[in-house]
Amino acid sequence: MLERTFVMVKPDAVQRGLVGEIIARFEKRGYKLAALKMFVMPREMAETHYGEHKGKPFFEGLVDFITSGPVVAMVWEGKNVIAAAREMMGATDPQKALPGTIRGTFGIDVGRNVVHGSDSPASAAREIALFFNEAELVDYDRLLDHWLYE
């Protein structure tokens, strides 16, 4: 099933020069970039994005961190990309993320875990709509799709 998911390079990874590494993993796998932008997230947007965690002990620190510097927000498209992107990122806590995953390769602490990805189709729809408007979601053909999909 063709899906779209929201992926975000977090402020730690932007500072550490990992934007290209992370984008390259999705490109090389064959997923299609549908939208991309860099910005510093306003606090209110961060609280909405992480609304499900409001009230948890790490919530304030999470919002402080995610608004502390620029992020790179993206939409990636492809077959089963929502679950696949989560697998490529690895477990939330980099200590538990398998080697080879993004977090298992580049992360150490849970509060500096490098990347965000939508956890379900409902989250993907909600997060894409929060960060992008319709005009920013680019629809285009790729000649190589024929070599990725049978």
**Residue 113 interacts with ligand DAT (CB under 6 A)?**
yes
Query: CA 26, CA 39: separation in Å to the nearest integer?
Result: 20
Query: CA 54, CA 150: separation in Å to the nearest integer?
Result: 43
Q: Which does 110 bind (CB under 5 to 8 A by kind): ligand DAT, Mg ion, none?
A: ligand DAT
Residue 14 is inside which H or E element, if any? helix 11-15
Residue placing its CB nearer to ligand DAT in the complex, 113 or 134: 113
> Would residue 49 show up in a list of annotated catalytic residues for this protein?
no
Query: CA 76, CA 36: separation in Å to the nearest integer?
Result: 9
Do residues 8 and 116 make contact, with C-beta atoms less than 8 angstroms apart? yes
Which of these segments, 74-82, 94-102, 107-115, 138-146, binds ligand DAT (CB under 6 A)? 107-115
**Residue 111 interacts with ligand DAT (CB under 6 A)?**
yes
Phi-psi sector, 12: left (phi>0), alpha (psi -120 to 50), beta: alpha
Residue placing its CB nearer to ligand DAT in the complex, 30 or 111: 111
Judged by CB under 5 A, the chain residues 114 through 133 that form the site for Mg ion are 119
Residue placing its CB nearer to ligand DAT in the complex, 67 or 134: 67
Q: Which does 111 bind (CB under 5 to 8 A by kind): ligand DAT, Mg ion, none?
A: ligand DAT
The alpha carbon of residue 84 and the mean position of all alpha carbons in its chain are separated, in whole angstroms, by 12
Residue placing its CB nearer to Mg ion in the complex, 93 or 119: 119
The alpha carbon of residue 92 and the mean position of all alpha carbons in its chain are separated, in whole angstroms, by 12
Footprint of ligand DAT on this chain (CB under 6 A)?
Answer: 53, 58, 62, 92, 110-111, 113, 116, 119
